[in-house]
A and B are shown apart, each in its own frame.
Chain A
Amino acid sequence: MENARQYFGDGLPYQNLNELKGKLIAIEGTDGVGRSTHIEMLQEWLEVQGYGVVTTGWTRSNLMSKTIEMAKQGNILDRWSFSLLYATDFADRLEHQIIPALRSGFIVLADRYIYTAFARDFVRSGDRTWIRDVLGFAVIPDLVCYLRIDVDTLALRVIETKGMNFWESGMDLRLGGDLYDSFKKYQGLLIEEFDKMAEEFTFEVVDARKPPEEIQEALRLKIEPLLKNGRAQLAPAGTGSPVKESATAPPAS
Chain B
Amino acid sequence: MTPPLVTFNQPHPFPGKLIIVEGIDGSGKSTQVLLLQKWLTSKGYNVFFTEWNSSELVRETTRRGKKNKSLTPTTFSLLHATDFANRLYYDILPPLKAGMVVLADRYAYTAFARDAVRGVSPPWVRKLYGFAIRPDMAFYFKVPIEVAINRLLGGMRAQFKYYEAGMDMGLSQDMTESFRIFQARILLEYDKIVSEYGLITMDATKEIEEQQNDMRQLVSTALEHYKPKRGTHGKRETVFWRRFAVPKSE
Contacts and interface: CB of A to CB of B under 8 A. Distances in A.
B124 A136 contact: yes
B124 A85 contact: no
A85 B85 CA distance: 10
B81 A137 contact: no
Contacts of B130: 129-130, 133
B247 interface: yes
B57 A67 contact: yes
B99 interface: no
B128 A133 contact: yes
A12 B60 CA distance: 25
A247 interface: no
Contact of A63 (B57, B73, B75): B75
B245 interface: yes
B57 A71 contact: yes
A253 interface: no
A11 interface: yes
Majority secondary structure, A binding face: helix
A14 B73 contact: yes
Contacts of B74: 12, 91, 95, 137
A96 interface: yes
B150 interface: no
A74 B244 contact: yes
B124 A137 contact: yes
B86 interface: yes
Interface string A33-67: 00000000000000000000000000000111011
A88 interface: yes
B235 to A, nearest CB: 23
Interface stretch (A75-83, A155-163, A191-199, A231-239): A75-83
Given A91-B75, A126-B2, A133-B127, A63 B65 contact: yes
A74 B85 contact: no
Nearest to B123: A10
Interface in A113-167: 124-127, 129-130, 133-134, 136-137
B185 interface: no
B124 A75 contact: no
A110 interface: no
Contacts of A12: 73-74, 120-121
A226 interface: no
B245 A130 contact: no
A246 B81 CA distance: 26
Contacts of B120: 12-13
A14 B119 contact: yes
A84 interface: yes
A84 B82 contact: yes
A219 interface: no
Most buried by A among B64, B71, B121, B130: B121
Contacts of A63: 61, 64-65, 68, 70-71, 75
Contacts of A74: 244-245
17 contacts: A10-B123, A12-B120, A63-B65, A64-B61, A67-B247, A75-B242, A78-B86, A78-B89, A80-B85, A80-B89, A81-B85, A84-B81, A88-B61, A92-B72, A95-B72, A96-B72, A124-B1
Interface of A: 9-14, 62-64, 66-67, 69-71, 74-75, 77-78, 80-81, 84-85, 87-88, 91-92, 95-96, 124-127, 129-130, 133-134, 136-137, 173, 245
Given A64-B61, A74-B244, 6 more contacts: A70-B246, A91-B72, A91-B75, A92-B75, A130-B127, A137-B124
